[in-house]
Each structure stands twice: as C-alpha cells, then as structure tokens.
Structure 1
Amino acid sequence: MAGASEKATYTHGHHASVLRSHSTRTALNSASFLLPYLKPDMKILDIGCGPGTITVDLATYVPQGHVTGLERVGDVLPQAQALAEERGIKNINFVVGDGNGLAYPDGSFDVVFCHQVLQHVADPVGMLTEMKRVAKKGGIVAAREADYSVFMWFPEIEGLRDWQSLYDKVARHNGGEPNAGRFLHSWARKAGFEDKRHSVSSWCFGQKDEVKWWSETWQERALKSSFATTALAAELATSEELEGISKSWKQWGEDVDALISIPSAEIVCFK
C-alpha cells in the first residue's frame, strides 16, 4: 500500500502528561498475550511505538532477533531511543512511518504488532491488511485495543461520565473508534485472517500510588493534551467543562477507595 496515508488523528497527542502515562506500559503489562508466541530470533515490527517502553521490552524477548519501533510522529522517538540506550538494548531501531503504507517488502517480519493504535485510525481493516502484507508466511499479526464504553471505576463520580462521553465525541470527531476492543476480532476477519486467537485483559489501578498517578495525569490531560485542544477547537466542550472534568479526576484520586479498570481486547492472528 505504498503512498497510503492515515486520515485519522491521534486523540491523545504527545503532550508530556500523555507520555508519562504511556511510559508505564511494558511488554508484560500490555503485551502478555503475545509473549508465549515469541522466539529468540524473531524480527518484530511495533507500529505506533510512542515512547518505546513496550518496544524496548520486546527486544529482550528476542535477543538473537531484532525489533523496529515505528511511529508516525517523530518527535517522540528520541525519548524511545534514549530508553533503549539507557537499558543497553542493541537489537532495536526506531523509524518514522505510517502504518497504512509501510515502507517494507512483503513478508519482512515474523511479528507485526500494534498496541492501542487501531482505535485512532480511519481504516483499521486497511491497517491490519497492511500489517498482514509485511508479515512472513506463518508469521503473526497481533493487536490490543481498549473499549472506552466499558471502563469501570469507583467511586461513581458524575464528572467522569462527562469525561467518558466527551472522550467518545472527540475520538469520533478525529475519525477513530473509541470502542475498538469489541470490533477487533471482526476487523481481523475482514482483513483476511482465518486463524486467530482472542482474549481480554485489563489494567487495574487501585493502589495508592497508581491512583495518584492516573488521577494526576488525567487532571493535566483534560486541560493541556490534544484531547483538550481538539474538544475546544471543535466546540465539543468549553474551558469550564474541561476544568470540571479535571476537578472530577482530582476528586476521584483523593478517594481512599478509588479504583479503575481498563479492559482491552487482544488478538493474535496467524498468516
């Protein structure tokens, strides 16, 4: 699909508050469904790698292989490269590229992976088809996607329902599907995959330090990230409404019983 270009917009953007949140992701807490299939000499492409924490971790599972982290926005890649250097990971590189038009020949990788990416693209089936193209015969295409409509939190604060509703509107305005998790298996079938494995797992944050971290990131993201700037520019929310959402995340984070669970669907497809 040379020349193809993604039409949707990454809803979260790459504000520092977003990167702090994404930097907690590891292969174990975000790609454990894929790990049993990895072999030491595999060549992996990680699409939408962001700050590279999952990507760098994956490289430790293929010590005789290689991992390429691909990101559409190159500004975040120096952070990813710095992490690899800090951890002494050599079997890795990072490149700027578009998942809808990958600059690789057919059958280039043993594993093609993306994490929380398809929810942001206008043509997820097209991207899965492109991922399939660059996977080797007998190779793997894997993806993990959240479903924003089934997030669960305690206590039940009205302002967080406002956040959930606004996030849905902003994501759809950007051309994405915020409830991607429930569609993932169907998208894979439409991309031509017949042999696939499905699962669901959740991040669950309930410890005091986890709650504080999640609360503080969303207090800031609600006001300063691309989520906020898009909501204002598209007249989906006012500054006062965003302030209210930020305060709701603060209120949630201060509750001694605060907990949030974020479920994601996962799929491993065999070419």
Structure 2
Amino acid sequence: MTTQVYSADHSAPVLRTHAWRTPQNSTAYLLPHLQTTSKILDIGCGPGSITTGLAALVPAGHVTGIEPTSPPLEAARAFAASEGITNISFQEGDIHALPFPDESFDIVHAHQVVQHITDPIHGLREMRRVCKTGGLVAIKESASLHCYPDAPEMAQWLEIYHKVAAEKGTNPHPGARIHVWAREAGFAPEDVTCSTGSWCFRTKEERQSWGGNFAERSVGSPLSNYAIEKGYATEEFFEKMREVWLEWVANEDGWFGILHGEILCTKRDA
C-alpha cells in the first residue's frame, strides 16, 4: 500500500518556511513553459504561495492546488484571496489516487513532495495519467544540504532525519535520481529533461527566516518526538539543536545552501 509520510507537520513555523517559496525562487525551470491559458495541477500546495504565483502567471488559465489533508488549505485560500487571484482552487487530494480524469492538465507540478511518499513511481504514474498528451510533469526535489559553520549537531540532526525517513519508507533528498523514477513511471528517457536549482540563505534576513523557523521546529516537532521515542536522540539534543540554529542566525558568516534536482517530463502518448 502506498502512503504519504510527512516527518514535519503543518504548524506555523513549517508553513512560514513553505510560504517563502514562490515560482520565481522555486520553479524557475518551469516558468518558460507556461502559457497564459495553462491549466495546472500543483500537488502538495501547502500554504499556496507557489500555487498562487503560478495562477498570476496564467491569467487565462487555471491552477488547482491539492493537499492530502485540509489544515493548510485554509491559509492557501486566504493567501490567494489577499493577492486578488481568482483563477485558482484548492481541494483535498492524494497523489496516489488523484481525483481527476485522465488528460486533465497541461502541467502537473510537485515541489518537494515525492520524497515524502513511500512509492514515488506510483505517484509519478498518477501525475502522468492526469497530464494531457503533449503536456509536462514537473518535479523538483532536494538533493543535498550544506551549512557553514558546519556544527557537529547539524550532521547528527541530518543523520537522525535520514534514519526516521528510512524507517517510515520515504526517500529524503532524492533529487539526483528523480529522472530514474520518471523513466520507471513510463516516460521515455529522451522525454525527460534534467536540471539543477539551488537556494542560498546568507543575508541577515534570510538567516533569520530560515534558521529562526528551524530553531522553532527543533523542539516538540513530529521528527524530534519520534526520535526521542525511538531512543535516537534526547530532549537535550533537540534543545541544543535549537541553540545551534539560533547561533547560526546570529553568525554574520552563516551560510546555508540546498542543491535541488529538477525534471521536466513530456507526455507523448495517452
């Protein structure tokens, strides 16, 4: 049975991290392929910042954002309304059984979503199914993380995250191999275009946003609670992790980079 397993939650600091994402800073590889009339499905829309931004770029089209649970959708609808965007809708939906007919969308997009499901090939097959012939399936996933200064607690935290994700059957930071999943899901190799993207958090404001949210997420999160329950770490470790993040925020030399893998998959047949 395929499942979606999210090691975080939809708490305020998580949604703040996700709300920073826009089409410009997170989907640049896709933007040249948008048409004003594009009909787009955004899977795992979260608070709707990418979804709303895409809708603004396709004024004669429509964007549908889906989440497997309802909590983030209220914020997504409110954000779209605040931006005056009306060619948009949000609903619950599961990537394993997308609630749409075959050939429904010009573009099917997922950003940092496939890593959280136990059967990514099944998820990609569903994305391909609801994509129109000649349309695009667009996926972006993190591939690696890099931090300066490189505190030992950071490495330990990442090791714990990987251990928890592996136990739950998910695939953390799979950006280097998502093109392989696309081929196994039915796309011909010549119809899959690979690229890379990156995020860099360096300025004072960027460090405060990124590191501050992760400091808040260090204690009492689903990840920390699970790791403590399993004996992989202690409450003291996650308290220390919170301090490490805050020290990183305050460090004028602080730098955090994320490398992403990106794929654009053209659907050639129904």
- Would you say same fold, with TM above 0.5? yes
Question: Which amino acid letter does the alignment assign opposite residue 249 of structure 1?
Answer: W
**How many angstroms apart in 2 are the aligned matches of 1:81 and 1:139?**
26
> Does the Cα contact within 8 Å between 1:9 and 1:176 map onto a contact in 2?
yes
Equivalent residues in 2 for 1:20-169 (5 A)?
20-147=16-143, 150-169=144-163
What whole-Å deviation, never above 9, does each CA across 1:207-248 have from its counterpart, x for those lacking one?
Answer: 011112211111111113222222223333221121121121
3-state secondary structure, aligned to 2:215 = helix
For 1:251, give the aligned amino acid: E
Return the offset for 1:8.
3.5
1:19 aligns with 2:15: yes
TM-score after normalising by structure 1:
0.95
Q: What is the Cα deviation at residue 6 of structure 1?
A: 4.2
Question: Residue 174 in 1 paired to residue 168 in 2?
Answer: yes
Does residue 187 (structure 1) correspond to residue 181 (structure 2)? The answer is yes
Deviations 1:155-175 (A, max 9, x none): 121111111111111222222
Q: Gaps (5+ residues) in structure 1?
A: none
Match of 1:211 in 2: 207
How does 1:214-225 map onto structure 2 within 5 Å?
Answer: 214-225=210-221
In 2: Cα distance, 1:134 partner to 1:59 partner? 19
CA-to-partner distance for each residue in 1:234-271, whole Å, 9 max, x for gaps?
33322112112112112222211000001110000000
Distance 1:116 1:55 in 2: 14
SS of residue matched to 2:172: coil
AA aligned to 1:190 is E
CA RMSD of aligned residues (A): 1.2
Deviations 1:122-173 (A, max 9, x none): 00011001000000011110000002xx311111211111111111112222
Amino acid at match of 2:93: G
Mean Cα deviation higher: 92-101 or 10-19: 10-19
Contact 1:15–1:226, Cα closer than 8 Å, also in 2:
no
What is aligned with 2:246? 250
| Distance in structure 2 (CA, Å) of the matches to 1:68 and 1:165 | 35
Mapped contact 1:14–1:225 kept (Cα < 8 A): no
Amino acid at match of 1:86: S
One-letter amino acid matched to 1:210:
E
Stretches of 4+ aligned residues off by more than 4 angstroms = none
Listed as ranges, the gaps of 5+ residues in structure 2 are: none
In the TM superposition, residue 179 of structure 1 has moved relative to its aligned partner by 2.5
Which moves more between the two structures, 215-224 or 98-107? 215-224
Query: 8 Å contact 1:221–1:227 — kept in the other structure?
Result: no
| SS of equivalent to 2:5 | coil
Aligned residue number for residue 260 of structure 2: 264
Normalised by the length of structure 2, the TM-score is 0.95
For 2:167 and 2:218, how far apart are their aligned partners in 1?
A: 17
